[in-house]
């Protein structure tokens, strides 16, 4: 983000000839409030946006259609963008009157609430500008108060490093220990700050078939997910945004959810993953059993493993799980 800040600040640095930007909002509103799913601790929560096809593919098609129509009506050039270049889609959407950037930093529409994807068409045509939308958050702060990892240092500001969406989808390494409990059973993204927005009383269920929830991508049994290997992960999530993390990061997330489940019946899954080839996975398997089993049981499993464990992060997880220096047990 920092590297592209300058290019983000002004669309003309991306394309000097651009004269107007047209913003598209695509409604992906869920049929029901998804938050009760967070109570099903043996299931993994997937953010609503990721419960079917990758939205980039869907929106790109629609933008291209609209851009083609524009190009056929005028002698202007067009380019389309959906997260494909450093474009500040949210401030542009606000300027175009689609909605305003709420205190959770996402664009809220008076018509659709905040379940809205954004996409942009840049054109060399001089078009009359719409009125910008103004802020309608008022004194509300529901989105700020619900955030499980306190990712908002202030209204309208997000510390992405604390956001579960970033941690579970984009972050490649170990997730900081102090943030793991707040993640609960969210294994891919988070919708808490979106779902509590009162403007969603005007939201409507999305009608784009490729974005309507697939039931096999919601409330997924953690037991089943913990058994995915690389090929089965790819087959299961092909064409969806979930494939982005790859198998190891995904299983890392599943193990955090298992550790947070309080369900001792799931400990066997974590125990099996103690011997996984990926250190990312092994480390979270240790954390999960540390949350589910007694210190004696953890120490018992540590003894056999530590002899062969040469990854320092995994050794550190063992140390923390037993709350005694690793050297003593090893
Ligand atoms: C990086 C990114 C993330 C990061 C950081 C999020 C963030 N808030 O910036 C992470 C991984 C955390 C993330 C999470 C999510 N994301 Co995201 N993400 C993006 C992405 C690619 C860039 C956003 C960006 O530029 N951030 C930079 C920061 C600095 O900007 P900001 O906080 O939004 O707002 C500041 C600026 O706008 C600035 N500002 C205001 N006016 C102006 C004018 C100028 C000239 C400048 C320079 C600045 C400026 O002031 C604001 C306050 O500091 C956009 C797509 C895009 N190209 O825009 C999608 C996007 C924002 N994400 C989206 C979604 C759906 C999500 C999630 C809901 C997914 C999920 N369910 O898990 C969560 C929501 C979390 C949240 N509360 O924001 C949608 C939001 C749609 C909408 N209605 O607004 C977008 C637009 C993707 C899309 N094409 O639809 N995302
Ligand atoms: S998506 Fe979740 S973790 Fe991220 S800011 Fe919103 S409530 Fe917080
Ligand atoms: S929940 Fe409240 S403060 Fe947050 S975006 Fe919605 S209206 Fe604004």
Give the span between the Cα atoms of 323 and 274, in whole angstroms: 18
Residue 94, ligand 1, Cβ within 6 A: no
Atom of ligand 2 lying closest to residue 105 CA: 5
For residues 322-326, give the mean pLDDT: 60
Whether pLDDT at 32 is above 50:
yes
pLDDT digits (tens, 9 = 90+) for 159-177: 999 999 999 999 999 999 9
248 is catalytic: no
- 3-state secondary structure (DSSP) of residue 155: coil
Per DSSP (E only), the strands in the chain are 20-27, 43-46, 78-81, 100-101, 107-108, 116-123, 186-188, 220-221
> How confident is residue 71, by pLDDT bands cut at 50, 70 and 90?
confident
Whether pLDDT at 325 is above 60:
no
The residue contributing the CA closest to ligand 2 atom 6 is 193
Query: What pLDDT was estimated at residue 329?
Result: 38
Tokens coding 227 = 């058994």
* Average confidence score pLDDT of the chain: 93
Ligand 1 centre to CA of 138 (Å) is 21
User: By the 8 A CB rule, do 218 and 40 touch?
Assistant: no
The reported pTM is 0.94
Query: What pLDDT was estimated at residue 11?
Result: 85
- Please report, for residues 87, 188, 211, 250, 261, the alpha-carbon distance to residue 48 in angstroms, rounded to integers and kept in the order given: 23, 10, 9, 17, 21
- 3-state secondary structure (DSSP) of residue 231: helix
For residues 147-165, give the mean pLDDT: 98
Give the span between the Cα atoms of 215 and 303, in whole angstroms: 42
For residues 145-163, give the mean pLDDT: 98
DSSP line for 80-148? EESSSS---HHHHHHHTTS-EE-TTSSEEBTTTBT-EEEEEEEESS--PPPPPPPP--TT--HHHHH-T
Phi/psi of residue 46, nearest 5 degrees:
-110, 130
The residue contributing the CA closest to ligand 1 atom 86 is 118
Lowest pLDDT segment from 84-88, 108-112, 121-125, 174-178: 84-88
DSSP code of residue 51: S
Which residues surround ligand 2 with Cβ inside 6 Å? Answer: 104, 147-149, 151, 158, 163-165, 190, 192-193
Give the span between the Cα atoms of 306 and 299, in whole angstroms: 10
Residue 109, ligand 1, Cβ within 6 A: no
């Amino acid at each position: 983000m920092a590297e592209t800040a300058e290019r983000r600040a002004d669309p003309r640095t991306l394309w000097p000839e651009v004269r107007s930007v047209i913003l598209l909002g695509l409604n992906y509103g869920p049929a029901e409030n998804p938050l009760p799913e967070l109570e099903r601790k043996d299931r993994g929560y997937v953010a609503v946006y990721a419960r079917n096809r990758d939205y980039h593919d869907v929106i790109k098609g629609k933008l291209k259609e609209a851009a083609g129509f524009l190009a056929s009506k005028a002698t202007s050039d067009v380019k389309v963008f959906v997260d494909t270049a450093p474009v500040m889609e949210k401030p542009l959407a606000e300027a175009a009157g689609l909605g305003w950037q709420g205190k959770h930093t996402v664009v809220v529409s008076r018509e659709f609430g905040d379940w809205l994807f954004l996409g942009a068409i840049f054109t060399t045509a001089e078009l009359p500008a719409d009125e910008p939308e103004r802020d309608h958050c008022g004194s509300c702060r529901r989105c700020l108060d619900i955030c499980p990892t306190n990712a908002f240092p202030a209204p309208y500001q997000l510390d992405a490093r604390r956001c579960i969406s970033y941690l579970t989808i984009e972050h490649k390494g170990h997730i900081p220990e102090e943030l793991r409990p707040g993640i609960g059973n969210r294994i891919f993204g988070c919708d808490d700050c979106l779902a509590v927005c009162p403007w969603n009383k005007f939201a409507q269920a999305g009608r784009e078939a490729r974005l309507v929830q697939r039931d096999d991508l919601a409330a997924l049994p953690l037991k089943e997910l913990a058994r995915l290997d690389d090929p089965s992960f790819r087959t299961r999530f092909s064409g969806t945004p979930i494939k982005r993390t790859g198998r190891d990061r995904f299983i890392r997330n599943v193990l955090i959810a298992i550790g947070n489940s309080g369900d001792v019946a799931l400990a066997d899954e974590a125990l099996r993953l103690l011997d996984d080839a990926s250190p990312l996975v092994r480390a979270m398997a240790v954390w999960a059993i540390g949350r589910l089993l007694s210190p004696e049981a953890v120490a018992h499993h540590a003894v056999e493993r530590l002899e062969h464990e040469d990854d320092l992060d995994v050794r550190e997880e063992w140390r923390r799980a037993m709350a005694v220096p690793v050297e003593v047990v090893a």
